[in-house]
Structure formats: C-alpha cells, structure tokens
C-alpha cells in the first residue's frame, strides 16, 4: 500500500509507522519526499511511503511522520472473491461531490476506481490541496486507484509545457510494478489475481505505434484467464456514448479505433469511463454493434464536478444503450465469484441502499462461446 500525504516543511525523512492494533506500531517504513513548481506556485513536501507486505482483508493502524499525524486506519482488499469496487468519475469538489462521497462512505467498498477528472483545479494549484483534504477521510481508509482525465493535463503553451505536473506528483500509481513507463497507464491484480484491472490513459499517446498500445498488448497477453476470470478496463473519454456531450473527440473515437480490437480480442468484461457527466450503460458491444463476446461499456462520469450534469441525449436512443440518466451518483462492481458479478448504480438523491440500475454480469472466461 502506498501512503501519500503533504507537509509544509520538507525536513526529515518521510516515514509511516503501522501495525495491527490501535496505538501499537510494530513496523516502520520510510519513503521519498518531492515537490513541484507550477508558475509561481510551489507545492508542499509530497511524502510517499510504500508499506508492506500486508495481510489481506486486514485493518492496519498507521501514522505518518516526521510530524506525526493522528492515527488513521485502512483495510486491505481481500485476496479472494467476493470483492467490491466503487467507481466514480469526474469527482470535483462541490456539494454534489460531498453527497457522492457520503454515499461512497456507506458502501463498504474494498477498492475505489476513478476514471479521471479528479480535482477540477484547472491550473489553480491550491485547489489540488483542497481536493486532497476533501477526499482524505475516504482515501486514507481504502486504496484509491485513479487514472487521468482532461482536467489533469494543466498544460499552458509556452508558459508551462509539461503536462500532468500536479497529477503525476500527487497521485502516483503503481505503474513500474506493471511494466509501464508512465504514471498515465498501468494495471494491477485484485482478489488474489481473480480480477485484472487495466487503467488506461486517454490523454497519453494511444495509437498503434504508441508505447501505451504496446504495453497494453503485452499486459493483456500476460493474463491467464484460467487463473484470472475477470478483466476490467478503465478509461476517461468513453468509446460508447449517446449523450450529446463530448461527441466526436479524438480521445474517444481515435482511441477506440486503435484499441477496441485488442480489448475485444482479450475478452475484457467491462470498460468503465467518465468524462460525460451522466450515467449510461451499454449492452456487450464491439465495433458499434451488440456482440455477446464484447465488453459491457459503462459511463460513470457523474461524481459531482462544478460543470454540472450533461442532460441532453441523442434521440432516438441507440439500441445498444440500455440505461441512461443524467443524475449525480456512483457505481459499484461486486465480483461475487469466478463467474458472476453485480453492477449497481446509486443516485445521490436516493438512500445508499437503493440501486437505480442493476444487472448481473457473467465473466466472458466462463462463456464457452467466447473462448479464445
């Protein structure tokens, strides 16, 4: 588990004390301290400590140094099924966001997946710190696995030409561990290898001659579906979308043209996207047509950002779109066993226990008709 936090002073080593009971820390790990500059802004000291090995499904108590923080706790994900992912894109930091976070807190998820557009700092760097404070009560308790959206780019021609400066400095993901050369795309296993999650970069090069494409091909090629029945892909800009918002963008259309065949060929079960501020679920699709061996595509960009909801849809509704609604909320993917998973969508105007859309998903690895 990587623990990241920010202190005002960069003096002394970053370290985390941790253990299995409150107030008793049998282990200590040290890490790195970094910072970044953005125009006139200079960040605080960004502390990064990787701790472990850790036991699965276990609560650990920890505190962060050198200026010792209060005691926090987190729970490690299980090493077998069932496992529950919470999914929320385009989060931002509004009252809608606060409502989404309240619902997420009640969902008892194991791992959070965020398909891009985190803080909506949009060049105003202290907003990244505010976002950290807003999500900390949840993010300090469970792994938050994120990928980037367009709001993370923060590039200004001639003035600040380096993209993703704040995002890469503040939200470091385990890309080296999955053989990736970039924090913008990586993969990891969950549930003891039962689920392989691929976090792609919609705003990194994705063409067939790109490093990301080659990495994805290698990464999917290494998955043994006998051992890993589920494969989930997370992107920012959706490849399937019947909302009027964000039609015709290169990150959707050209990335789909480049990578869809690879994703289909690997029998990926689900593709989760954000970007469009609404919820939409498609049937299994490939090449714009229903296909029983293609992934289910879901847009879950309804976290609560300041730009509001995308409530205009293309009419008539395409047959491959099964459910679409512009309301704030989040999704949950509960993988029950090697063959079955349940997806639910939870609107913020309902109680957490109410699922506004729900369906059961069968792993493509358990469908003989889709065997490779």
Which chain residues interact with Fe ion by CB under 5 A? Answer: 117, 149-150, 275
Q: How far is the CB of 149 from Fe ion (least distance, A)?
A: 4
Q: CB atoms < 10 A from the CB of 61, how many?
A: 17
Compare residues 73 and 244 and give the one whose CB is closer to Fe ion: 244
Q: How far is the CB of 117 from Fe ion (least distance, A)?
A: 4
Compare residues 78 and 149 and give the one whose CB is closer to Fe ion: 149
Cβ atoms of 209 and 189 closer than 8 Å: no
In 268-312, where does DSSP find H-type helix?
Answer: none
Burial of 68 (0-12, 13-18, 19+ CB in 10 A): exposed
Q: Tell me the backbone φ, ψ of residue 190, rounded to 5 degrees.
A: -130, 170
- From the list 236, 246, 297, 346, the catalytic residue is 246
Look at residue 102 and give its three-state secondary structure. Answer: helix
Helix, strand, coil percentages in the chain from 3-state DSSP, rounded to 5: 20, 30, 50
Q: How far is CA 232 from CA 83, 155, 363, in A?
A: 13, 30, 10
Which structure tokens are listed for 105? 């807190």
Compare residues 3 and 184 and give the one whose CB is closer to Fe ion: 184
Q: How far is the CB of 80 from Fe ion (least distance, A)?
A: 35
Compare residues 149 and 303 and give the one whose CB is closer to Fe ion: 149
Q: How far is the CB of 151 from Fe ion (least distance, A)?
A: 6
Q: What is the distance between the alpha carbons of residues 299 and 186, in angstroms, rounded to a whole number?
A: 20
Provide the b/e sequence for 333-362 (b: ≥16 CB within 10 Å). bbbeebebbbbbbbbbeeebeebebeeebe
Nearest of 138, 148, 128 to residue 72 by alpha carbon: 138
Q: How far is the CB of 277 from Fe ion (least distance, A)?
A: 8
Q: How far is the CB of 195 from Fe ion (least distance, A)?
A: 25
Contacts 24+ apart (CB under 8 A), 243-247: 243/276, 243/278, 243/280, 243/299, 243/310, 243/312, 243/313, 243/314, 243/324, 243/326, 244/310, 244/312, 244/313, 244/314, 245/276, 245/277, 245/278, 245/310, 245/312, 246/275, 246/276, 246/310, 247/314
Which element (helix H / strand E) includes 126?
A: helix 126-139
- Whether 246 is catalytic is yes
Cβ atoms of 343 and 298 closer than 8 Å: yes
Compare residues 72 and 167 and give the one whose CB is closer to Fe ion: 167
Compare residues 15 and 151 and give the one whose CB is closer to Fe ion: 151
Compare residues 275 and 297 and give the one whose CB is closer to Fe ion: 275
Which element (helix H / strand E) includes 315?
A: none
Q: How far is the CB of 132 from Fe ion (least distance, A)?
A: 20
Q: Which residues are catalytic?
A: 246
């Amino acid at each position: 588990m990587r623990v990241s936090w920010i202190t005002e002073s960069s003096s002394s080593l970053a370290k985390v004390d941790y253990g299995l009971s409150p107030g008793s820390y049998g282990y200590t790990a040290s890490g790195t301290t970094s910072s970044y500059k953005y125009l006139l802004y200079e960040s605080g000291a960004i502390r990064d400590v990787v701790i472990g090995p850790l036991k699965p499904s276990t609560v650990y108590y920890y505190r962060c140094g050198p200026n010792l923080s209060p005691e926090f706790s987190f729970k490690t994900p299980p090493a077998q099924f069932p496992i529950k992912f919470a999914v929320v894109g385009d989060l931002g930091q509004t009252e809608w966001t606060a409502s989404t976070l309240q619902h997420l807190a009640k969902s008892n998820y194991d791992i959070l997946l965020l398909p891009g557009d985190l803080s909506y700092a949009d060049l105003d760097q202290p907003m990244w710190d505010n976002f950290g404070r807003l999500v900390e009560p949840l993010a300090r308790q469970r792994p938050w696995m994120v990928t980037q959206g367009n709001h993370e780019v923060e590039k200004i021609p001639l003035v600040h030409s380096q993209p993703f400066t704040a995002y890469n400095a503040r939200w470091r993901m385990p890309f080296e561990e999955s053989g990736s050369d970039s924090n913008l795309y990586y993969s990891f296993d969950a549930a003891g290898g039962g689920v392989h999650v691929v976090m792609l970069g919609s705003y990194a090069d994705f063409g067939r001659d790109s490093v990301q494409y080659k990495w994805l091909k290698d990464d999917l090629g290494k998955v043994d579906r006998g051992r890993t029945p589920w494969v989930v892909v997370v992107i920012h800009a959706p490849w399937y979308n019947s909302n009027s918002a964000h039609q015709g963008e290169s990150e959707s259309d050209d990335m789909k043209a480049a990578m869809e065949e690879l994703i289909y060929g690997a029998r990926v079960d689900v593709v989760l996207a954000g970007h469009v501020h609404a919820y939409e679920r498609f049937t299994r699709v490939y090449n714009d047509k229903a296909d029983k061996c293609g992934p289910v595509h879901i847009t879950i960009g309804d976290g609560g950002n300041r730009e509001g909801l995308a409530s205009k849809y293309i009419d008539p509704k395409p047959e491959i779109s099964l459910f679409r609604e512009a309301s704030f909320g989040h999704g949950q993917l509960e993988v029950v066993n090697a063959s079955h998973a349940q997806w639910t969508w939870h609107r913020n105007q309902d109680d957490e226990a109410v699922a506004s859309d729900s369906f059961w998903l069968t792993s493509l690895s358990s469908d003989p008709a889709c065997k490779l």
